Amino acid sequence: MVNQKTTDVNPKATSKKPWGGRFTEATNALVEAFTESVSFDARLYRQDIQGSLAHSKMLAKIGIITNQEAEQIHAGLHRIRDQIDAGEFEWSTELEDVHMNIEARLTEDIGDAGKKLHTGRSRNDQVATDIRLYMREASDDVIDLIRALQHNLLTLAENEVDTILPGFTHLQVAQPISLAHHLLAWNEMLERDAERITDCRKRINVMPLGSAALAGTSFDLDRDFTCELLGFDRPSRNSLDAVSDRDFMIEFASAASLVMMHLSRMCEEIILWASESYKFIDIGDAFCTGSSIMPQKKNPDIAEIVRGKSARVFGNLHALLVLMKSQPLAYNRDNQEDKEPIFDTIDTVARSLQVFAAMIPSITFRRDRMEQAALKGYATATDLAEYLVRLQVPFRDAHEIVGGTVHYAIEQNKPLSDLTLAELQSFGSMIQDDVYDVLTLEGSVNARSHFGGTAPARVREALQAAQDRLTPPK
């Protein structure tokens, strides 16, 4: 997973600012506190060091620094990374951000060679590179988590192909469906989510390094070499755009919002299904909580919290859009505010997917309750109408006949399948004994045997296809 390590920042740690040459006054203390970002961007330290290692190798390749200086830089950066990993690195808010903290410590460690590292780059292209490296890894992690959830859903669905529950529209019983068919609908949502993030990753994986502050640099950098070292698909084509573009973050936040929207929809159904009114499912005790006052309660808190966390991810997307909407080219300090929303989005989506995937295997289904609910809702009424259409009754006439039949069945407190042939023929004389083949739940489900339908045979095919897509043959 993407490193989520929290970092202790020492506001009293002091160092001369690397950019302070033209200034004659110290930065106001309030400004120091207000403008620092190291308290949250320190999580980019691995990506920052990764970018600096590649940049220094490229500088040595083109002769800007010597091989010996590059070796000193590499050794120093590895020592810093080890110190941060061990929690032994002292971060300074006076040095503002992760980049200046690492560079200042490197120079303190190895001397003048450390001062040469920043040749041919700016913090503008440096941070853009860091965040792309970070989000590339985060994208891969989120895709893996989606796949893990899909795996658990498909495993759950394997035993529920012949389980029948009511399908709903407007939260009213509509038609009977296979439970596995319903779970496969959830899987379709997740497949699109994984596809969107995979596609988004293509636009993340572009290297801004070499764009410098906004106009590029007079040094003849070998950007293709750096690009290859860092695993980017290509260097950015325009230096102005490269340092100021945050589309890739907004696109990821949009895709992440859709992930959370889908999880929220699934959670809503799980909450309904677990309620006393439905009693379709039982969620494992490890994923529920009780009440501090009502001892009988078993609350589906995980589903409720995941549903609730969708709100903060949606809010982060909106924050990023508003942040960027009026920014002129090129980089502006406003963009410091892009990191907390995207970090929170990544963390929230990852944790939600993890806990949701863990909860899925704990769910057990009350098949009897599902069947009873389907029977009570006259879910086979559409099948009766389609039966009449096959006997050449115009659909609108068939619709009216079945409407009257359902009204009568409600008055008699009977499911349609319990009406006698004579009772059915009182509404349509053309009805024959074979009507009972379509009035049962099983008959209704089996009848929908086209591609994408809920017939068990088709559901088994769809389940196998979904499993094949999830684990492509090697």
Q: Which residues are catalytic?
A: 170, 291
User: Bridge partners of 168?
Assistant: 173
DSSP code, position 246: -
Find tokens 């495993």 and name the residue: 155
Q: Give the DSSP H/E element, type plus range, for residue 59.
A: helix 45-61
Taking phi over 0 as left and psi of -120 to 50 as alpha, with beta for the rest, 266 belongs to alpha
Long-range contacts of 176-181 (CB under 8 A, 24+ apart): 176/374, 176/379, 176/380, 176/441, 176/444, 176/445, 176/454, 177/445, 177/454, 178/445, 178/454, 178/455, 178/456, 178/459, 179/365, 179/370, 180/459, 180/463, 181/454, 181/459, 181/462
**DSSP code string of 260-284:** HHHHHHHHHHHHHHHSTTT--EE--
Write phi, then psi, for 289 (nearest 5 degrees).
-130, 170
- Do residues 107 and 148 lie in contact, with contact meaning Cβ atoms separated by under 8 Å? no
Q: Give the DSSP H/E element, type plus range, for residue 130.
A: helix 123-158
Token code pair at residue 440: 């049962």
Give the orientation angle of helix 179-204 with respect to helix 123-158, to 10 degrees: 160
Give the orientation angle of helix 123-158 with respect to helix 339-359, to 10 degrees: 10
CA 365 – CA 442 distance, rounded (Å): 18
